[in-house]
Amino acid sequence: MGSALAGEAKAPQSPTQLSAEAAPDAFRNLTQWEPVQIEERRDNLVTLSALGDPMLVGFERKRKLSGFSLVVDLKRYLLATLAKTLLPLGMMTLIMFASLFFPTGLVKEKVTVAITGALSGAVLLASVNSQLGTVGYTMAVEYVFYIFFALCLFCILSVLLAERFRAAHHMEIATRTDLAARALFSLTVVATAVAAGMAAARW
């Protein structure tokens, strides 16, 4: 019987210390994980078995089988993992910010970019939750996604508000609305990046 467990490391070990149980080449393809500790031991497997006899079904007895247990502790490279995960989100944020500079005649396109970004972010968030699992830093990642969704909604509302002002022939107010939307969008992104950096440094 073999088993492998991934979790937080207790005491880092060098590859030479790991090589007693497993060759370092066994971990050469791990790009986001670092092997920390390997433990192997003989083990007993206690199970109910009818030994393949259909006549004994329901009258199984306990059987003790000799087994082998292997436990591998892995440590995730947190910053590399989060950078790779959040890179698509950053690209979509830049695309949304660029859409705020589209000409006034491309109102439909501005809204389409924001809606597409929100839908893509929802798919990416589901993927992140399924890949990283229920670990502590996934909550911080989710907060970044929530801010991104708020920016998507903000882009849609600001574009529609500016278009309402233009339809009412308030061109100056519409222009100020566009400028304010760009400035607030930029400040939100910068503040989020700074907060994320501070949180990562203290993790």
Structure tokens at 170: 């308030």
pLDDT exceeds 80 at position 150 = yes
Q: What is the pLDDT of residue 12?
A: 44
Q: What is the pLDDT of residue 135?
A: 58
- Judge if pTM exceeds 0.85: no
Percentage, residues of the chain above pLDDT 70: 69
Mean pLDDT score of the chain: 77
Q: What is the pLDDT of residue 1?
A: 39
Q: What is the pLDDT of residue 26?
A: 67
Q: What are phi and psi of 134, to 5 degrees?
A: -90, 75
Amino acid, res. 94: L
What pLDDT band is residue 18 in, cutting at 50, 70 and 90? Answer: low
Structure tokens at 116: 């597409």
Per-domain residue ranges of the chain: 15-76, 78-202
Between 1.20.58.390, 3.20.20.60, 3.90.230.10, 1.10.645.10, what CATH number should domain 78-202 receive?
1.20.58.390
Torsion of CA 193, 196, 198, 200, to 10 degrees: -140
Q: Which long-range contacts (CB under 8 A, 24 or more apart) does 132-136 make?
A: 132/81, 132/85
Q: What is the pLDDT of residue 174?
A: 92
Q: Which long-range contacts (CB under 8 A, 24 or more apart) does 156-162 make?
A: 156/111, 156/114, 156/115, 158/100, 159/100, 159/107, 159/110, 159/111, 159/114, 160/107, 160/111, 162/104
Q: What is the pLDDT of residue 21?
A: 57
Q: For 88-147, write each residue's pLDDT tens digit.
A: 888 999 999 999 999 888 889 999 999 999 999 998 888 777 765 555 566 777 888 899
Higher pLDDT, 76 or 159: 159
Q: Which residues face 67 on adjacent strands?
A: 43
Q: What is the pLDDT of residue 23?
A: 65
